[in-house]
Amino acid sequence: MYRALVTCHHLQRYFEDFRPFYEAAGVEPILPTIEGQQLDAAAMREAIVGVDAVIAGDDEIDASVLEAGKSSQLKAVIKWGIGTDSIDKAKAAELGIPVYNTPGTFANEVADLALSLLLNVLRQTHHMHNSVREGGWRKVPGRSLAGMTAGVIGLGSIGQAIAKRTVAFGMETIGYDVREIDQETLSALGVMQVDLPALFAQSDAILVACELTPESRHLLRDETFAQMKEGVYIVNVSRGPLIHEAALCRALESGKVAGAGLDVFEVEPLPQTSALHGFDTAVFSTHNGSNTIEAVARVNAMTTDILLHVLGLKDLDFTPNRVA
């Protein structure tokens, strides 16, 4: 009998739909209680002992967790989703523990949320909503998207899905990525790839969609906000630490940044003490880009399939993406 640890909150929520597949394959699921939707390294170190594989969310899988898994019976880590910044991939490779993720599986959904945040920030719909709820009828002046320049940072699957949408909304769209995107892809999207200083100088709205790495940490900070247009709008659907939040607060305070739509934060859940709460031109969501019924069902099935495959219990008609 194999044992599978499921810490991903999406799969936990719908686990009863999947339990028969685990039972039929002879896999005992372990479902620890998730507080705050992710486990820290100490909780992971404890949970990982005696399991053959894990389907993880954004839980902290550092070297100590992988060591604990390796000295027990851990055979694979499967990340439900895309970003693997919370997994020590170098350590996993050193220990010979394969790490898989599910790239591209919900790029459209995350891009939808990015545009929803941008539209909410530009039209300040939260203020109108609150006003109606309070019996008022407040008319809030907004800004027009069409004619603005959108700058997309990170032209991977989410960045490209965002660019499709900003182009469709009539925004001139430019993008930056550390890798060169082929001309055919850029032409099909209607996007010009530029360097970072050009993106900062030209964009009316900057949408952050790149991977979090040591190099991209605090990509938006005092020094780079200074290079942006006065009154720029910022949207982040990637990872909180890409933006230095204290610097963003300074830029919101000075008016350099006219509004921000944030799905992700340096600390999640966003603490009540965060200075970000002081800005009513900021709109927040709850690290929730992938959370549609359709996307969650799709990725729950896919990660379960990968799990059964790595345990040698199921053939797949696709090649799982291995990142370490």
Ligand X SMILES: O=C(O)[C@H](O)COP(=O)(O)O
Ligand Y SMILES: NC(=O)c1ccc[n+]([C@@H]2O[C@H](COP(=O)([O-])OP(=O)(O)OC[C@H]3O[C@@H](n4cnc5c(N)ncnc54)[C@H](O)[C@@H]3O)[C@@H](O)[C@H]2O)c1
Catalytic residues: 239, 268, 287
Question: Of 13-21, 186-194, 207-215, 304-312, which part binds ligand Y (CB under 6 A)?
Answer: 207-215
Q: Closer to ligand Y at the Cβ: 160 or 304? A: 160
How many CB atoms neighbour CB 319 within 10 A? 7
Contact mark string toward ligand X, 12..51, x via CB under 6 A: ----------------------------------------
- 104 is a site residue for ligand X (CB under 6 A): no
- 290 is a site residue for ligand Y (CB under 6 A): yes
What is the spatial distance between Cα 92 and Cα 89, in angstroms, rounded to a whole number? Answer: 5
- 156 is a site residue for ligand Y (CB under 6 A): yes
Binders in 226-285 for ligand Y, by CB under 6 A: 237-239, 263-264
Structure tokens that stand for 166 in this block: 């900003």
Give the single-character DSSP code of 299.
H
- 152 is a site residue for ligand Y (CB under 6 A): no
Q: Which does 58 bind (CB under 5 to 8 A by kind): ligand Y, ligand X, none?
A: ligand X
What is the spatial distance between Cα 15 and Cα 34, in angstroms, rounded to a whole number? Answer: 14
Contact mark string toward ligand Y, 165..184, x via CB under 6 A: -----------xxxx-----
- 155 is a site residue for ligand Y (CB under 6 A): yes
Element (DSSP H or E) covering residue 6: strand 2-6
Least separation in angstroms between residue 247's CB and ligand X is 23
Question: Of 126-134, 197-205, 250-258, 284-292, which part binds ligand X (CB under 6 A)?
Answer: 284-292
Least separation in angstroms between residue 81's CB and ligand X is 2
Question: Of 74-82, 145-153, 205-213, 312-320, which part binds ligand X (CB under 6 A)?
Answer: 74-82
- 157 is a site residue for ligand Y (CB under 6 A): yes
Cis status of the peptide bond prior to 269, with omega within 30 of 0: yes
Cα Rg, the chain, nearest whole Å: 21
Query: Which residues fall within 8 angstroms of residue 197, CB to CB, at 6 or more apart?
Result: 227
Q: Pick from 124, 157, 166, 290: which binds ligand X (CB under 6 A)?
A: 290
Q: Is 206 helix (H, G, I), strand (E, B) or coil?
A: strand
Least separation in angstroms between residue 78's CB and ligand Y is 15
Q: Is 259 helix (H, G, I), strand (E, B) or coil?
A: strand
- The string of DSSP letters for 52-87 reads SEEEESS--B-HHHHHHHHTTT--EEEESSS--TTB
- 82 is a site residue for ligand X (CB under 6 A): yes
Q: Closer to ligand X at the Cβ: 209 or 260? A: 209
Asked whether 55 and 22 are in contact (CB, 8 A), the reply is no
What is the spatial distance between Cα 119 and Cα 112, in angstroms, rounded to a whole number? Answer: 10
How many CB atoms neighbour CB 112 within 10 A? 18
Asked whether 186 and 192 are in contact (CB, 8 A), the reply is yes
Residues that bind ligand Y (CB under 6 A): 81-83, 103, 107, 110, 153-159, 176-179, 209-213, 215-216, 237-239, 263-264, 287, 289-290
